[in-house]
Amino acid sequence: MKQSAIALAAGTMFGAGLAVSGMADPQRVQAFLDLGGNWDPTLAFVMGGAMLVMVIAWAIQRRMAAPIAVSRFDLPQTHRIDARLAIGALIFGAGWGIGGLCPGPAIADLAIAPGQAAMFIAAMLAGMAIHRLTLR
Amino acid sequence: MTLPGFPDAMPLHGLAGGLMIGLSAAIMLLVLGRIAGVSGLAARAVGLSASGPPRGIAIAFIIGLPLGALLVSLLAGPVVTRFPASIWPLLIGGLLVGYGTRLGSGCTSGHGVCGMSRLSPRSLAATALFMASGFVTVALLRARGLL
C-alpha cells in the first residue's frame, strides 16, 4: 500500500514533468526529430534535465545497500547488445517518429486528449500483445 | 525565454519538466529500487509482462501519468497536445511503439533517461538506434510530403 502510494506520487511527478516540458505535445516531439523542418531542440533540454538528476541518483544508489522502502534493488543486469535490442529499438524509433508519441506522453495525454491518446494506446497495447504472443 | 534561432523551442520549460522527470525516476530508483521505464511498467500494469515490479506498483505509477498532466492543466493552464490529424499515424505508430519497446526492452524513459545516466551499454546502444530511426523516419515522411 505504501509502495503503491510512492509509485503513484512518482508517476504523477513524471506526468506533470511531461506536461510542463512540452513533451505531452506530439507535434513538438516530432519537430525534434524533424531536422529538415523547423527543428525544435526542446526535447534535448528535457533529456538534459532528467539525466542531470539521474546521474546524481545513480551515484547515490551505488553507495546504498538497499532502497529506502524495499529490501533490495531490482535492476536490469543484462549487458548483451543483441539483435532483439537493436531491431526493437529501430521499430520503436520508427513508431515514435510516425506518431510523435512514446509510451509516457501517450498515457499522460489520456487526461488532455483522451480520444486520440486512447487510440494510440490501444494500438500500442496490441503491439505489446503481439510481442507477448509471438516471442518467448 | 526563447532560444535564438529556434522560435518554437521552450528550453526552460523543457529543463524544468526534465528535472521533474528525473526526480520521479530517482524516487523509483532510490525508494522502490526500480527503473522508471514506462513501456515496461505499462505492459506489467495490463498483464502483458511476466517480469517487473508487483503489479500494484506498476498500475499506481501508470495512473499517476495522466494525473500529473491533469494537475498541470488545472494549476498552470491548458496543456498543448497537437496530435496527428489522421488516425493512421496513431494506429501505425502505436503498434510499432508497443511491439518495438517490448522487443527492445525499453523506451525513452527506461533506456533514455535511466539507462543512459547509468552508462548502460545496452541503453546507450538502444537510445542511439531509436533516435536514429526516429530521425530517418521523419525525414522519409517529410520527403514523401506526409508531414
pLDDT at B142: 96
Contact call for B70 and A100, based on CB within 8 A: no
Instruction: Report the alpha-carbon distance of residue A62 to residue A58 in Å, rounded.
Output: 6
Q: Give per-residue pLDDT as tens, A76-122.
A: 998 899 999 999 999 999 999 999 999 999 999 999 999 999 999 99
If you average pLDDT over residues B16-23, what whole number do you get?
Answer: 98
End-to-end CA distance of chain A: 32
Q: Give me the domain span that covers residue A123.
A: 2-134
With a threshold of 0.95, does the pTM exceed it?
yes
Nearest-by-Cβ selection for B23 from A53, A64, A107 = A53
| Cell numbers that stand for B24 in this block | 520521479
Q: How confident is the model at residue A1 (pLDDT cuts 50, 70, 90)?
A: confident
- Go through chain A and tell me how many residues it has: 136
Q: In this structure, are residues A115 and B75 in contact, taking their beta carbons and an 8 Å threshold?
A: no
B137 vs A59: CA distance, rounded Å: 36
A10 closest CA partner among B70, B106, B24: B24
Q: Yes or no: say if B100 and A93 are a contact pair by the CB < 8 Å rule.
A: yes
d(CA B129, CA A86): 7
8 A C-beta contact, residue B110 and residue B40: yes
What are the tens digits of pLDDT across the range B33-80?
999 999 999 999 999 998 999 999 999 999 999 999 999 999 999 999
- Give the pLDDT mean for B86-115: 97
Across chain A, what does the average pLDDT equal? 97
Amino acid at B139: A
In whole angstroms, what is the distance from residue A3 CA to residue A18 CA? 23
Determine the Cα–Cα distance for residues B30 and A129; give it in Å rounded to an integer.
31
- The three grid cell numbers given for residue B93, joined into one nine-digit string: 505508430
Mean pLDDT of B106-132: 98
- Kindly tell me if the per-residue pLDDT of A136 is higher than 70: no
Its ipTM equals: 0.97
Contacts of A25 in chain B (CB under 8 A): 79-82
Question: What is the residue-averaged pLDDT of chain B?
Answer: 96
Q: Least CB-CB distance to B135: which of A33, A67, A129? A: A33
Least Cα distance to A125 among B64, B112, B38 occurs for B38
Residues 70-129 of B with CB under 8 A from A: 70-73, 76, 79-84, 87, 89-105, 107-109, 111-118, 120-122, 125-127, 129
Nearest Cα neighbor of A74 from B120, B52, B118, B104 is B52
The number of folded domains in chain A is 1
- Using CA atoms, how far residue A20 sits from A14, A33, B94, in Å, is 10, 20, 23
The domain ranges of chain B are 11-143
Contact status of B134 with chain A (Cβ, < 8 Å): yes
CA atoms lying within 13 Å on the CB side of residue B140: 11
